[in-house]
Structure 1
Amino acid sequence: MDTPNPIRNVSDTALWVAIYRAMETERPDALFRDPYARRLGGERGQAIVDAIPDGAQTSWPLVVRTSVMDDIVHRCVQSGAKTVLNLAAGLDARPYRLDLPRDLRWLHVDMPEMVDYFRTGMAGETPKCRLEFIAADLREADQRREVFAKAAEEGPVLAITEGLLIYLEAEDVAALARDLHDIAQAKWWLADLATPRLLKLLEKRWSPTLKGGNAPFRFGPAESTAWFAPYGWRELQFHSTWTDAMRLNRKPRGAALWNFLLKISPRKQREEQLRMSGIALMERT
């Protein structure tokens, strides 16, 4: 690319993740199919994968995240969700690639330039449901609340923050949690979560590249989903990234050693390690 670091800002991480979805799609035993991912990720997305240390080898947690979230979205829709509020949606093509009810309302929300990029890349494609694009800066309280009020018009609402919270400060996550509860009145909130220990591990491997692109990892609550309780949310499901990687056969290098160490660890320590990274489905209280 034209700069040593291909990551220019947080939005570019969507290109990175799209390439991982493309890599999975191209496998004969793919867990999901995203035929748009390679096109959307483009040259810059591939350059990011190439720039990240062991970039091609570290696709597994993001592939697992995509697969598990796909399943949870389906289950929530089957349980009555009428609106999906997809925040910082990036290049998420679920409205095009998942088998969704035609009358499902899907709100694809992101920064204006990211929405424009996605719409251009998907020109000529037909979504499976009622897809609406909303260009908004969620950091701006008035814009955020306007979007959330719009979502609340047709409930029950499933909110998705895939790959978003880790880039936010804690006070921004708190504001988001309050508004999803009070204004969007979301019934469910689907999010991926890390812990402080995982952030430290990622700091050594990925942070130089991410910080150089003004996209450092910030949010990883030690309390896991309990952190969200004061804002009206409780854990409904938690899917350990590691456990699901074993189940889905997307094992990283050294998995056998890590599984041995987990097996001989005290129970409390083992449970903490398995929750270092995961996908949480929370419900509104």
Structure 2
Amino acid sequence: MTIVDRASPSIRNVSDTALWVAVYRAIESDRDDALFRDPFARRLAGERGQAIVDALPFGQAMGWSIVVRTAVMDAIILRCIDRGARTVLNLGAGLDARAFRLKLPPTLRWLDVDLPAVTAYRREGLGAAVAVCRHAHVESDLRHADERHRVIRDAARHGPLLVITEGLLVYLAPEQVSELAAQLRNQANSRWWLADLITPPLQQTMGMVWSAQLDAADAAFRFAPGDSRKYFDDLNWRETEFHSTWTESIRLDRVAPNGWMWDRLLQWSSPAAKIAMTRMSGVVLLEPTSRVHVA
């Protein structure tokens, strides 16, 4: 599998979505009032990343949500490190360059895990750049339970452990997410789990817009729990923070195009509907409610 094909603007597999979202980070980094600076995003996205965004329906208009997600996760990651995280395990890392751009302690251990082709492409794009912490690229196919177990076990040897699954869970089947939750919980030092989530209404809306592109690439949105709080609680993971994409977009001044219509709709909605709408998409920080110590 390769993610390098400058001639094609289509999404061929899940790995190609890394090029897609890197474009949004590059666009944000070019702003005078940027919420973050990712000096590697433009190079990593490349011509093909821009072609993918240009070819997707409403591709340009969707950047705000990725920018908000990135900024919110940046802040939470730094906070978890301040609280004692010694290793960051970035599963399905894609083209994330946080280990090279965030202000991290040099003693922090950061592991970027993805498929061999994605990892090779990221290495090439980063070139001679030096991480600000103890960084390693880890090649692994996370679709296989034994591979995930090996990666998680090795990472947990130097905990406390912060696990990141940015842009990953949505492409997994619910049973795969449940299996991952059990694997993370059963590692003694898996203390925090940072993820982004969507709900069925948004899954259906985005599916209607992008189904032709995503389904053909076997990259359909599969995981969208109706009640994520209960879903993860049943798996012995407690939601300690939830940051609504919509609410955070207002705070960060990165509101969606025509966002005023959402504001008007929220004003007319019942309290229950308001909660449902603000939790339609967001970033969640989870902590285990029980731990099983393993050798």
Q: What secondary structure sits across from 1:246 in the alignment?
A: helix
* Counterpart residue number, 1:174: 178
Which deviates the most, 210-219 or 33-42?
210-219
Contact 2:164–2:193 (8 Å) recurs in 1: yes
Which deviates the most, 30-39 or 179-188?
179-188
Output the amino acid matched with 2:270.
P
Query: How does 1:265-276 map onto structure 2 within 5 Å?
Result: 265-276=269-280
Which deviates the most, 207-216 or 97-106?
207-216
- Separation in 2, partners of 1:226, 1:118: 36
Contact 1:51–1:209 (8 Å) recurs in 2: no
Which deviates the most, 20-29 or 183-192?
183-192
- Separation in 2, partners of 1:65, 1:17: 11
Q: What secondary structure sits across from 1:53 in the alignment?
A: coil
Query: How does 1:246-265 map onto structure 2 within 5 Å?
Result: 246-265=250-269
When normalised by structure 1's length, the TM-score is 0.97
- Separation in 2, partners of 1:146, 1:202: 34
Q: Which residue of the other structure, out of 215, 224, 237, is the alignment partner of 2:228?
A: 224
* Counterpart residue number, 1:64: 68
- Is 1:24 matched up with 2:18? no
Q: 1:184 to 1:13 in 2, by over 3 A?
A: farther
Q: What secondary structure sits across from 2:190 in the alignment?
A: coil
Q: What secondary structure sits across from 2:224 in the alignment?
A: coil
- Separation in 2, partners of 1:43, 1:212: 21
Query: How does 1:1-285 map onto structure 2 within 5 Å?
Result: 2-3=7-8, 6-183=10-187, 185-285=189-289
Unpaired segments of 5 or more residues in structure 1?
none
- How far apart are residue 184 of structure 1 and its match? 6.2
Taking only the aligned residue pairs, the percentage that are identical comes to 52
- How far apart are residue 30 of structure 1 and its match? 0.7
- Separation in 2, partners of 1:194, 1:10: 17
Tell me the alpha carbon deviations over residues 141-177 of structure 1, each in whole angstroms, 9 at most, x when there is no partner. Answer: 1111111110110111000000000001011111111
When normalised by structure 2's length, the TM-score is 0.94
- How far apart are residue 110 of structure 1 and its match? 0.5
Tell me the alpha carbon deviations over residues 226-278 of structure 1, each in whole angstroms, 9 at most, x when there is no partner. Answer: 21122220100000000000111111122112101101210011001100000
- Separation in 2, partners of 1:58, 1:142: 35
- How far apart are residue 209 of structure 1 and its match? 1.3
Tell me the alpha carbon deviations over residues 70-122 of structure 1, each in whole angstroms, 9 at most, x when there is no partner. Answer: 00000000000000000000100000000000000001100111111101111
Unpaired segments of 5 or more residues in structure 2?
1-5, 290-295
- Separation in 1, partners of 2:194, 2:211: 25
- Separation in 2, partners of 1:228, 1:156: 20
Output the amino acid matched with 1:70.
D
Tell me the alpha carbon deviations over residues 41-97 of structure 1, each in whole angstroms, 9 at most, x when there is no partner. Answer: 011111110111121111000100000000000000000000000000010000000
Output the amino acid matched with 2:196.
D
Output the amino acid matched with 2:96.
D
- How far apart are residue 225 of structure 1 and its match? 2.8
Output the amino acid matched with 1:133.
H
* Counterpart residue number, 2:3: none
